[in-house]
């Protein structure tokens, strides 16, 4: 017999059976909310996870769309590009780089042409004479003599081109003054003014004579000043002579060959620098038509090129303080076949030394700066060399800004230091230098100049290229490079 349910439970069961619909709906009222609670909690967690993922993705996309990139441009300011990099962005940046490269190449070509000078700087003697000559005693002496003579001729021609000159020689002035004095005394009818008995008359005649002699002296000096554009003489420049012991004794032993080559090239380099400075003075004077009396630049007192500074990133060879050069035969020098220097002793010409290949210069490297040396920061590097010159000159004080501007316009010259002091025009006149009526100043300036190796190294001797760390292309690679260039140009 089955076990009886408790009476209360049995009553509930009987009621549920008789009211089944009510019981079912009542159970649903109880069970469904509880189930929905747990189901909603599970579903909500899934939705929150999915929503968080979408929010993070949206944030990442928005951040990327609002981001920007700084793209470096060699030698210039960076370019800022907005948004996500894509194919269009990459293409745009590529065009920017190509444009920057073309601009840089164009600027360098123009700068190189300007750096060669106007008129173009040329070597003092032919390449076959220097630096490509056989290193023996006979040829060394011959080359040194030809080079020094040619260098002197270049300086003389330079001074002539800018219409520079010197005050009248003292003997000429003395001759003119003496002639006036003799004529004056003869007109006075005496052998000497001291023989005039009347003291007042004697002093009067002496005063008149003194004035005439002064006017004569000034007249001779003025005549010279009216016919030249500025005062400048070889003595103000570094112009060696054949008899100079520092030159004549350069080559005493075969070990001296390198020292001679470096010295000769440095003398040539100094000439190029002097030519640029004097051309700038010529430009400041407006050409060669006006006289010293009207021109801003009155006189070159001295011009000294300083030894070359140590080159950054060059081999540890010390400072390259003296250098080497090449082309255009010396005046009076004859040449043999193929430009070789003809022998001076009637014998056969010696075999020329091996010719250096073109210099291998990478003009794309960044030029280092050193602001501890000068405010420009420019120092010698693999692309260009920096040379300094100390120049002292006399100029019209009010026109100094014009003179400084013309110095800056000529080639790549920068005045890095300047000292100015009033010039004594009366003391100068006693020495024959007539400057005119405007106040003048004596200026001492340090001038920085830049020289691109791509053309200067063509004329350097091997020892200097080595000292500066300049590699030379082989003749084969140079020929191949020239062929490729001509093909691309065609």
pLDDT for 282: 96
> Quick check: helix, strand or coil at residue 76?
coil
Question: Which region holds residue 240: left if phi is over 0, alpha if psi is between -120 and 50, else beta?
Answer: beta
How many CA atoms does the CB half-sphere of 202 hold within 13 Å?
10
So where are the chain's domains?
A: 118-163+233-342+356-485, 166-227
Query: What is the rounded CA–CA span in Å between residue 256 and residue 262?
Result: 10
pLDDT for 289: 82
Query: What is the rounded CA–CA span in Å between residue 152 and residue 251?
Result: 20
> Quick check: helix, strand or coil at residue 390?
strand
DSSP conformation letters of 35-74: HHHHHHHHHHHHHHHHHHHHHHHHHHHHHHHT-EEEE--T
pLDDT for 171: 66
Give, for all 490 residues of the chain, the pLDDT tens digit. Answer: 556 667 666 766 676 667 766 666 666 666 656 566 655 666 667 666 766 776 666 666 666 666 666 766 665 667 676 666 667 777 777 787 777 778 778 888 899 999 998 889 999 998 888 988 887 777 888 888 899 999 999 999 999 999 999 998 766 667 666 776 777 766 777 777 777 777 787 777 777 777 776 776 777 788 889 999 999 999 999 998 888 877 877 777 777 888 889 999 999 999 999 999 999 999 999 988 889 999 999 999 999 999 988 765 443 333 333 333 333 333 333 333 333 333 333 333 444 455 778 898 888 888 888 999 899 999 999 999 999 999 999 999 999 999 999 999 999 999 999 999 999 998 998 889 999 999 999 999 999 999 999 999 999 999 999 999 999 887 655 555 554 444 444 3
Query: Residue 299: beta bridge partners?
Result: 231, 394
Which residue's entry shows tokens 């960076």? 78
- Among 257, 252, 240, which Cα is nearest to 464's? 257
pLDDT for 430: 86
How many CA atoms does the CB half-sphere of 328 hold within 13 Å?
13
> Quick check: helix, strand or coil at residue 449?
strand
Q: Is the dihedral of CA 467, 470, 474, 478 positive or negative?
A: negative
Local structure of residue 347 (DSSP, 8 states): S
pLDDT for 350: 42
Q: Where are the alpha helices (DSSP H) in 66-136?
A: 87-115
Q: What angle, 0 to 180 degrees and rounded to 10, lies between the N-to-C axes of helices 20-65 and 7-18?
A: 80
If residue 395 lies in a helix (H) or strand (E), which one and from where to where? strand 384-396
**Tokens linked to 139:** 């040829």
pLDDT for 202: 76
Query: Residue 472: beta bridge partners?
Result: 359
């Amino acid at each position: 017999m089955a076990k009886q349910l408790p009476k209360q439970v049995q009553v509930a069961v009987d009621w549920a059976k008789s009211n089944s619909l009510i019981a079912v709906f009542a159970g649903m009222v109880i069970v469904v909310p509880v189930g929905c609670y747990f189901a909603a909690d599970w579903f909500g967690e899934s939705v929150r996870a999915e929503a968080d993922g979408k929010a993070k993705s949206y944030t990442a996309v928005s951040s990327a769309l609002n981001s920007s990139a700084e793209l470096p441009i060699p030698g210039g300011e960076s370019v800022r590009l907005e948004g996500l990099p894509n194919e269009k962005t990459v293409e745009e940046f590529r065009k920017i780089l190509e444009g920057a490269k073309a601009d840089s190449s164009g600027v360098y070509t123009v700068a190189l042409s300007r750096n060669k000078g106007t008129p173009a700087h040329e070597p003092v003697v032919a390449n076959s004479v220097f630096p490509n000559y056989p290193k023996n005693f006979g040829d060394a002496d011959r080359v040194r003599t030809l080079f020094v003579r040619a260098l002197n001729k270049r300086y003389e021609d330079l001074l002539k081109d800018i219409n520079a000159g010197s005050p009248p020689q003292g003997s000429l002035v003395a001759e003119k003054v003496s002639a006036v004095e003799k004529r004056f005394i003869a007109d006075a009818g005496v052998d000497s003014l001291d023989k005039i008995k009347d003291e007042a008359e004697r002093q009067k005649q002496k005063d008149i004579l003194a004035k005439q002699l002064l006017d004569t002296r000034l007249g001779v000096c003025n005549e010279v000043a009216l016919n030249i554009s500025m005062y400048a003489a070889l003595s103000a420049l570094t112009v060696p002579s054949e008899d100079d012991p520092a030159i004549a004794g350069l080559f005493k032993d075969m070990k001296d060959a390198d020292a001679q080559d470096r010295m000769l090239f440095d003398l040539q380099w100094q000439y190029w620098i002097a030519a640029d400075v004097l051309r700038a003075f010529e430009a400041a004077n407006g050409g060669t038509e006006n006289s010293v009396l009207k021109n801003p630049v009155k006189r070159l007192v001295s011009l000294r090129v300083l030894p070359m500074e140590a080159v950054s990133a060059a081999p540890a060879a010390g400072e390259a303080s003296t250098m080497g050069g090449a082309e255009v035969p010396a005046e009076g020098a004859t040449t043999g076949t193929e430009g070789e220097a003809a022998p001076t002793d009637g014998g056969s010409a010696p075999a020329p030394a091996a010719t250096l290949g073109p210099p291998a210069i990478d003009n794309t490297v960044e030029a280092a700066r050193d602001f501890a040396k000068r405010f420009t920061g420019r120092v010698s590097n693999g692309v260009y060399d920096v040379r300094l010159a100390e120049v002292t000159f006399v100029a019209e004080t009010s026109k100094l800004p014009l003179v400084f501007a013309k110095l800056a316009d000529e080639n790549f010259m920068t005045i890095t230091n300047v000292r100015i002091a009033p010039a004594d025009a009366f003391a100068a006149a006693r020495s024959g230098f007539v400057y005119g009526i405007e106040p003048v100043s004596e200026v001492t300036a340090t001038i920085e100049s830049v020289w691109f190796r791509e053309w200067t190294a063509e004329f350097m001797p091997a020892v200097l290229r080595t000292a500066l760390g300049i590699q030379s292309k082989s003749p084969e690679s140079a020929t191949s490079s020239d062929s490729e260039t001509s093909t691309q140009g065609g």
